[in-house]
Amino acid sequence: MKTWLITGGAGFIGSALLRTAIEGGHRCIVLDKLTYAGQIQNIKSVINGESAVFIKGDICDSNLVTTLLKEYQVDYIVNLAAETHVDTSISDPGKFIDTNISGTYRLLEAAREYWVNLNPEKKRFFRFLHVSTDEVFGELNDSGIFSETTAYAPRSPYSASKAAADHLVQSWHHTFGLPTIVTLSSNNYGPRQFPEKLIPRMISCAIREANLPVYGQGLNIRDWIYVDDHTRGLNLALEFGKPGASYCFGGKSERKNIDVVNSIAMNLNTLKPRKNGANYKDLISFVEDRPGHDYRYAIDSAKAERDLGFTLVTNFEDGLRKTIMWYLSNAAWLKDIAI
């Protein structure tokens, strides 16, 4: 059993990772500021004060982080605390600088102070895992794929802030010896994702009989990974990852945005037919594209497959249907936080 500090653990990926860790027999301390995307209802059912403890707080609060590390004798730090929505980073980039860059720096410093004072055995197994995104690599044309050796070329305030955080994490390993690992994944989807992201937004709009707003002509391409596949990869990186290394997790499921929206509509036609009998595709509306919208992302998991034993369990069609069914079965959750 290890003790994990999961920052941003009440968010979408964080709450899924929390469940993965608990199922593995570990104890988890969740630190979350509970901004709009961090929802206490995401974790309420598993917080019990023993195997899972919740602390409301900010990773920028160095004193709080230091206290938690010492009080709970943490073995693993997993940093998922971040501002993540590209559109918001365009309209309000300051908060992305504060949390994603300054917050990561303060977390690293608290971790380093804690790590250097650990006994040799505990120090040897300590890990700081920083969860990043394929968006730090920029965009691809119709060919090519991102990997751990791809040069960083962020193109939005969000991806630039994550790239800066990645470089900080890597430099704390190379300069100070802190045993850090960076992971980068393609677009996640699944239960409990805040409805600012494409898939939950389309589901939310559809079940409210609202228009389904698609940027441009919906031709931008993303690779999709089911969130539970991603969190299993994070667990493998903690167990088997090499300090100082980075690992990519992709879903091998590239789709045009319009094809994803059409698939959502097709599933909903069966799972929740419209009262007027019409097709959900009729709700699709094309809206002005966002500034600097990257054309295509795709990511190669070969290193993680080879070095960590990472495999995908859920294909996109099954994962999308499970996701839609979760939102249909959790209307109260969606109603409380819908935007």
Q: Where are the alpha helices (DSSP H) in the chain?
A: 12-23, 62-72, 86-91, 94-96, 104-116, 120-125, 157-176, 198-207, 227-240, 257-271, 302-308, 316-329, 331-337
**If you search the block for the tokens 């990852």, which residue do you land on?**
241
CA distance 3 to 10: 17
CA distance 71 to 54: 14
Torsion sign, CA atoms 326, 332, 333, 338: positive
Provide the token pair at 263: 């698939």
Cα 222–chain centre separation: 15
Residue 68 neighbours by CB under 8 Å, 6+ apart = 5, 29, 31, 55, 74
Closest CA to 282 of 200, 209, 201, 339: 209
Residues labelled as active-site residues: 134-135, 158
Beta-strand relationship, 187-189 and 180-185: unpaired
